[in-house]
Amino acid sequence: MRKVIVNSTPIISLSLIDSLYILKELYGTVFIPKAVYDEVVIKGKSKIGSNNLLECEYIKILEIKNKEAEKLFKTNLHSGEVEVMILYDELNADLCILDDLLARKYAKYLNYNITGTIGVLLKAKEVGLVKNIKQLLFELIKNGIYIDRKLMKKVLELANEN
C-alpha cells in the first residue's frame, strides 16, 4: 500500500470542485497531520466541515510523533506544511501532495516524491476517473484558486485538451 501525505490546499481545492473522492480512487487511504485537519476545518474555505472530513474514511488524521522536529522546521512554512513533511518522514511515505511553492521547494530539497492538486487531476484524467480537466481547472479558478496562465496552458497540453 502506498503511503500518501496530503496538505490542506489540495484537500480544500478538491473539495471545492466536488472531487475529493479522487484521492480515494487513486491512492486508497491518504494521511493528513492534525495541523492540516485544523487548517481545513477551522481556517479553511472548503465545502467540507469537521463531520464531512471525518466521514471520509479514506483520510486518516495522525499526530506527528516528533514535536521537536517541528521547532527546527519553523521557517516561512505553515504548521500544516511542516507537519506534512515530518509525517512524510515518520511514515516513510511514498508521495507528498503539496501546492505551496515554498513548501514544494523544501520537499524537493529533501528528495520527497511530490505532486500537487493539478498533478492529482492529471493522474485522474490519465486513469479515466475524469474526462475533462479543463472544466475542473476553471471551477478551481472560479472558486478563488490561482492557476498561472502558463501552467494552465501546459496542463491542458499534457491532458490533450488545448
Write the CATH number for 144. Answer: 3.40.50.1010
Residues 6+ apart with CB under 8 A from 72: none
Residues 6+ apart with CB under 8 A from 90: 64, 65, 66
C-alpha cell at 127: 486513469
Report d(CA 113, CA 33) in Å as an integer.
17
CB 24 within 8 A of CB 15: no
Task: Quote the DSSP letter at residue 161.
Answer: -
**Closest alpha carbon to 18 in 41, 37, 46:** 46
Task: Quote the DSSP letter at residue 40.
Answer: I
Per-residue pLDDT tens digits for 25-84: 999 999 999 999 888 887 765 555 544 666 788 999 999 987 766 666 666 778 888 899
Count CB-CB contacts under 10 A for residue 68. 8
Total-model pTM: 0.89
pLDDT given at position 94: 97
* Cα dihedral 68, 72, 73, 74 sign: positive
CB 16 within 8 A of CB 46: yes
pLDDT given at position 51: 46
Per-residue pLDDT tens digits for 89-139: 999 999 999 999 889 998 999 999 999 999 999 999 999 999 999 999 999
**Closest alpha carbon to 13 in 89, 118, 155:** 118
Quote the number of domains for the chain: 1
pLDDT given at position 77: 79
What range defines the domain where residue 69 resides?
Answer: 4-158
**Closest alpha carbon to 6 in 59, 68, 79, 70:** 59
